[in-house]
Chains A and B, each alone.
Chain A
Amino acid sequence: MGYHTIVIGGGVAGMQCASELLRQGVAVTILEKESELGGKIRNWHKLFPTFTPAEEVLAELRSRLISSPNLAVRTGCEAAKIASDRVVLTSGEVLECDSVVVATGFTLFDAKVKEEYGYGIYDNVITSADLERMFNEGAVRLKSGVTPRRIAILHCVGSRDEKVCQRHCSKVCCVTGVKQAMELKRMFPGADIFNFYMDIRMFGPGYEEMYREAQVDYNVHFVRGRISEVSPTIDCRLQIKAEDTLTGRPLKMAVDMLVLLVGMKSNALNENLVAECGLKAQPSGFMQPRDSFLHNVESNREGIFYAGAVTAPKNVGESMNEGTAAARAVVEWLAKR
């Protein structure tokens, strides 16, 4: 075909989109701000609901790209301005193309903003991303090096929270909390694990079954209520306060470790896409597709497409599907020009 598409973002959506475009004969340049491709799941351990190692998925995606002579990968670079026929990098370099796919994903919510949980202040308050790193390192330990015996996992940190202007649901945290609780139980069968949630939203195939399995087979405790504050105890544990909204009573307990399930925030780059590129964003900050049904991988500007969590929180499978859908939309659009 002789066309060239720039895919901005080398996470799972961008990689899948690129491999599909290459398969259909379109030359692709992937722009990735980090030093290598893979995006957020590069630091993830296992994926729900199958406990598939994230690295296994990434390895397959890499192998689909590696042999193509029509692929250029530019790491360590970011786009400053986007049009359908060119991308200007922050360095000032201009790359020409025939279409652009924006697959810049999301930003993890900064848990320090929810100061009451003491992330960055108390050593054993960690995020779900920190826990995945620990899983990958093969050891989940307290700062003192000791094994945790009682762990609390808090859902909706930076999601469905008007106080931090994040009204949307990040969708994947509930099932991540269940998955991480099960992984922790496998690692520490004698540990008590408590999930504090607002609602359990098990939207995907196999998720509800996983939630049940966590309770019945793993004895993970689920408490409906948000934690209001975290404080240190004299024996270096963490005191948490919450309300158990099912019993309607306040609750106070000491745990060794608190895991904050940080939500998906719209990518910080989206503001620039709106201000500099004429693209539209939703009130949540995620980019606005042309419509939600028939053109959900297209932007409001001709020749600029979206894939993955740049438009809304999505899981890995959905992001990859959107990568494929965006590639097909690009090919159709190029053919019609």
Chain B
Amino acid sequence: MKRSSWTDYQKDIADDNYYYARSCIRQNFFPGSEKVFLDILSKDLGRDIYDDPLHTSCTGIGYHSDVVPLETIMTVVARQFALMSEAGYENFTSSCITSFGIYTELLATWEEFPELEERTRENLFKATGREFKVPKNLAHTSDVMFHHREEIARKAKRKLVNVYTGEPLKVVEHIGCHYAKIFPKKGIGGSEFPYVLAGMVESWGGEIVDYPERRHCCGFGFRNYLVQANRGYSIANSQRKLESMAPYKPDFIVCNCPGCSMFLDKWQYTLAEMEGTTYGQNGAGIPVLTYEEMAGLVLGYDPWELGMQMHQVDVEPLLDKMGVEYDPSAKYLGGDGKYIGRPESAIVNSCSQEVLYKMKK
């Protein structure tokens, strides 16, 4: 694909001194990703990044589900900015796409309606006694990783290349809707042809797959999933994407949104259980990575340190293709070396359907 249009959408991304805001849900589903982001920034790249235990949820999911009012979320966000100011930082980077969308939306709102910013300042001061400065630079953590992608490429221990064939790995990149679909100019490459993940993949030796449902929602879509009665709609959308990408035989999917990586991974398990359908090669699912995990593998991190044993779709076929050395017996050992338990085998990981049905009985 001739993605030259991405150069029309550039944004300033701070080079150093980041205030880090975690996601509410990522540590449950992809527990190593945020840690490895901090490690890559501080240890591999020598940058200063502050992981503040005082910050809270941005309440974005509640806001998008109509249970958190605008005034409340503005005050919560103002508190995050106050914490950043108190810690002596000006560059705010958020791990969650929803949060990034919220911060972007509220900064734009305050710019358009200064009286709302003023009222938020009053509310924050009344509630907490705090004052805040708006960030000098706001970036999603995938923007930060994109910004450092060439430096990471220079330090790479391995590339996104199939060691058996020498061919670039085929990668499906999936961008969270709230990254640039609301404010296209705030995302690298805009909303139609975002380049934030594609840039990393290309710099690290892989090849991007463009497929018919590339822009389609992962299936999360907040109310699609949060309202239990809508969950069929959620999985149907994930299925549409997976069916569309499968003929291209991607080696893995990479996402920059907590919800997308979770749903594209976990719904593959569900679809396999419901219909016996898998979308990857050799009867298995397609591994789904976060961009931190992808960067971690490129920089030579151990996959179990990256938390990849927590994926629903096994990542070993991908690790083998990349030539990653790993200890299979260490997969289910926790950080302290204790056995953390092992999931039952599943169709999505090439378990025979017959075995599974017996197991169900």
Q: CA–CA, A116 to B216, complex, Å? A: 13
Q: CA–CA, A280 to B4, complex, Å? A: 37
Binding site for B on A (CB under 8 A): 112, 115-116, 118, 120-121, 229, 231-234, 239
Contact pick for A115, options B192, B211, B213, B214, CB 8 Å:
B192
Q: Does B190 contact A (CB under 8 A)?
A: yes
Q: CA–CA, A120 to B71, complex, Å? A: 43
Q: Does B215 contact A (CB under 8 A)?
A: yes
Q: CA–CA, A231 to B216, complex, Å? A: 11
Contact pick for B247, options A116, A229, A234, CB 8 Å:
A234
Q: Closest CB of chain A to B239's CB: distance in Å? A: 15
CB contacts under 8 Å to A, within B193-250, are 193, 210-215, 247-248
Q: CA–CA, A125 to B236, complex, Å? A: 30
Q: Closest CB of chain A to B193's CB: distance in Å? A: 6
The main secondary structure of chain A at its interface with chain B is mixed
> B248–A234 contact, CB under 8 A?
yes
- List the 4 shortest-distance A-B pairs measured between CB atoms, nearest first: A115-B192, A239-B212, A231-B212, A234-B247
> A232–B211 contact, CB under 8 A?
yes
Q: Does B1 contact A (CB under 8 A)?
A: yes
The main secondary structure of chain B at its interface with chain A is loop
Closest A residue by C-beta to B192? A115
How large, as a class, is the contact surface on chain B? 10 to 19
With A115-B192, A115-B193, A121-B193: A231-B210 Cβ-Cβ less than 8 Å? yes
Q: Which residues of A contact B4 (CB under 8 A)?
A: 120
Q: CA–CA, A121 to B4, complex, Å? A: 8
> B214–A231 contact, CB under 8 A?
yes
Q: Which residues of B contact A233 (CB under 8 A)?
A: 212
Contact pick for B2, options A115, A116, A120, A234, CB 8 Å:
A120
A229-B215, A231-B215, A234-B211 known, 10 other contacts, Cβ within 8 Å? A115-B190, A115-B192, A118-B192, A120-B2, A120-B5, A121-B1, A121-B3, A232-B1, A232-B212, A234-B248
Closest B residue by C-beta to A231? B212
Closest A residue by C-beta to B247? A234
Q: Which residues of A contact B215 (CB under 8 A)?
A: 229, 231
Q: Which residues of A contact B5 (CB under 8 A)?
A: 112, 115, 120-121
Q: Binary interface profile of B, 34-55, with partner A (CB < 8 Å = 1, else 0)?
A: 0000000000000000000000
Q: Closest CB of chain B to A307's CB: distance in Å? A: 35
Q: CA–CA, A223 to B290, complex, Å? A: 41
Q: Closest CB of chain A to B93's CB: distance in Å? A: 26
CB contacts under 8 Å to A, within B1-20, are 1-5
Q: Which residues of A contact B210 (CB under 8 A)?
A: 231-232
Contact pick for B192, options A116, A232, A234, A239, CB 8 Å:
A116
Q: Closest CB of chain A to B66's CB: distance in Å? A: 25
Q: Which residues of B contact A234 (CB under 8 A)?
A: 211, 247-248
Q: Which residues of B contact A112 (CB under 8 A)?
A: 5
Q: Which residues of A contact B212 (CB under 8 A)?
A: 231-233, 239
Q: Closest CB of chain A to B146's CB: distance in Å? A: 19
Q: CA–CA, A285 to B2, complex, Å? A: 32
Q: CA–CA, A233 to B210, complex, Å? A: 8
Q: CA–CA, A120 to B215, complex, Å? A: 18
Closest A residue by C-beta to B246? A234
Q: CA–CA, A115 to B8, complex, Å? A: 11
Q: List 14 A-B contacts (CB under 8 A).
A: A115-B190, A115-B193, A120-B2, A120-B4, A121-B1, A121-B2, A229-B192, A229-B215, A231-B212, A231-B213, A232-B1, A232-B210, A232-B212, A239-B212
Q: Which residues of B contact A229 (CB under 8 A)?
A: 192, 215
Q: Closest CB of chain A to B147's CB: distance in Å? A: 23
Q: Closest CB of chain B to A164's CB: distance in Å? A: 12
Q: Which residues of B contact A121 (CB under 8 A)?
A: 1-3, 5, 193
Q: CA–CA, A118 to B193, complex, Å? A: 9
Most buried by A among B192, B213, B214, B247: B192
Q: Which residues of A contact B190 (CB under 8 A)?
A: 115
Q: Which residues of B contact A115 (CB under 8 A)?
A: 5, 190-193
Q: CA–CA, A239 to B214, complex, Å? A: 11
Q: CA–CA, A163 to B214, complex, Å? A: 22
Most buried by B among A112, A233, A234, A239: A234
Q: Binary interface profile of B, 275-309, with partner A (CB < 8 Å = 1, else 0)?
A: 00000000000000000000000000000000000
Q: CA–CA, A112 to B248, complex, Å? A: 27
Closest B residue by C-beta to A239? B212
Q: CA–CA, A173 to B1, complex, Å? A: 29
Q: Closest CB of chain A to B261's CB: distance in Å? A: 22
Closest B residue by C-beta to A114? B192
Q: CA–CA, A232 to B1, complex, Å? A: 9
Q: Which residues of A contact B214 (CB under 8 A)?
A: 231
Closest B residue by C-beta to A254? B212
Q: Closest CB of chain B to A333's CB: distance in Å? A: 46
Q: CA–CA, A231 to B247, complex, Å? A: 15
Q: CA–CA, A121 to B194, complex, Å? A: 13
Q: Which residues of A contact B3 (CB under 8 A)?
A: 121
Closest A residue by C-beta to B210? A232
Q: CA–CA, A137 to B191, complex, Å? A: 36
Q: Which residues of B contact A231 (CB under 8 A)?
A: 210-215
Closest B residue by C-beta to A117? B192
Q: CA–CA, A246 to B236, complex, Å? A: 25
Q: CA–CA, A96 to B1, complex, Å? A: 52
